[in-house]
Structure 1
Amino acid sequence: MTETLATSVGRGPTEHAVRDQIIEAANDCFARYGYGKTTVADLAREIGFSKAYIYRFFESKQAIGEAICSARLERILDAAKAAVDEGESAPEKFRRFFKVITNMGVELFFDDRKIYEIAASAAAEHWVSARAYADALRGMISDIVWDGREKGEFERKTPLDEACRAIFYAMTPFVDPLHLERNLDLLPDAQTELTGLILRSLAP
């Protein structure tokens, strides 16, 4: 495909489709060669576009990495939300939430290592996608704890924001891509035991 075809009115794909095409090619390149070793020039050759044309859609390689990282992290969040919805009690919701987040992080590490490296870079460099992911996790923790308090399943003495921050800090070694790699040998026991400890601390 040429740039002319991509931008021809009525014949080529829309700008959204071109962005998707660039992201798909980048995903393949990053998976094969790694994020750090892939350049925008490599992506341009892969798709048949010029670097200048790619920069019309993404201001940098990091912006492309952000798009890929956001999509992968969104999958994890969607799976976590589905797992939480299946839980009846707040403790069960939390167990499901923590387990899915951890398991999907481990799966990404072993099944798609090069893409995992993007997520780790995002966490290390505080990309927007990584911050949004952490915010979403904290939001889900808050919802679960609030629900548990409303049902009388969790204690109410500790301020909600303080309790949720502490839970997130405790979970971080197993849900943050930057830290997970260093703690793989502790799983699955650590995740199970930490879940029990957190739930006991929340008991009324």
Structure 2
Amino acid sequence: MAEPLTREQILDTTEQVLRRFGLDKTSVVDVARALGVSHGTLYRHFASKAALKEAVAERWLHEVSTPLGKIAGEEGSAFDKVRSWIERLVHIKQSKAKEDPELFAMYNALAEESVEVITAHIHELIAQLTKIVEEGMKSGEFQKGNAHEQAAAIFYATARFHHPALAKEWASSHIQEEFKQVWSLITSGLVKKS
């Protein structure tokens, strides 16, 4: 008797099929065929093709948020953690775009179709930053204020360096210098003046 099909097996195979056929041409039948099961079997795990695509997008976004969550949970200076968190986010996104631009574009398109998944992802990222900013306010490193609003401002102020829709700009020879300028501005508003 064959082992029962797991969610992870389905998502792994869906990713492989998406790579082969692309986002628009991939069907549930293609995924089922690659797994050697009927498409009805997949519908027991995912209610629709949209739900399957959302699950793939969610897993991909989780690969971004997990290492960032670890930074948020570390001990140390809040300022250093905010800087490390932003730099890691930028590195993850830019590395994915550079290493496999076609796959990055496909995942970006997949994520754009999954509005609720993207919204949850952004909320998760801002919540991680909020935790760090709150720590900085409590320790006296950062100016007092609304930690959530400040975290959201940091996230959106740095969007040019990590938002997939702006990936073409990442190849600019000035991008690192521009990041330094934005970071300097963030620092001047965040850090408590002595």
TM tier, smaller: 0.7 to 0.9
1:102 aligns with 2:58: no
Distance 1:87 1:190 in 2: 29
Deviation at 1:200, TM superposition (A): 1.5
Distance 1:99 1:168 in 2: 11
**Aligned pair partner of 2:170 in 184, 187, 194:** 184
Question: How high is the TM-score relative to the length of structure 2?
Answer: 0.84
Q: CA RMSD in A?
A: 2.3
Distance 1:83 1:30 in 2: 31
* Cα 1:23/1:99, change in 2 over 3 Å: same
Distance 2:140 2:55 in 1: 41
One-letter code of the match for 1:166? A
1:164 aligns with 2:120: no
**Aligned pair partner of 2:54 in 66, 84, 105:** 66
Distance 2:160 2:64 in 1: 16
Question: How high is the TM-score relative to the length of structure 1?
Answer: 0.80
SS of aligned partner of 1:188: helix
Determine if contact 1:31/1:112 at 8 Å carries over to the other structure.
no
One-letter code of the match for 2:29? A
State the percentage of identical aligned residues: 26
Unaligned runs of 5+ in 1: 1-10
Matching residue of 1:90:
78
Unaligned runs of 5+ in 2: none
Consecutive aligned runs of 4 or more in structure 1 exceeding 6 Å deviation: none
* Cα 1:174/1:65, change in 2 over 3 Å: farther
Determine if contact 1:31/1:115 at 8 Å carries over to the other structure.
yes
1:14 aligns with 2:1: no
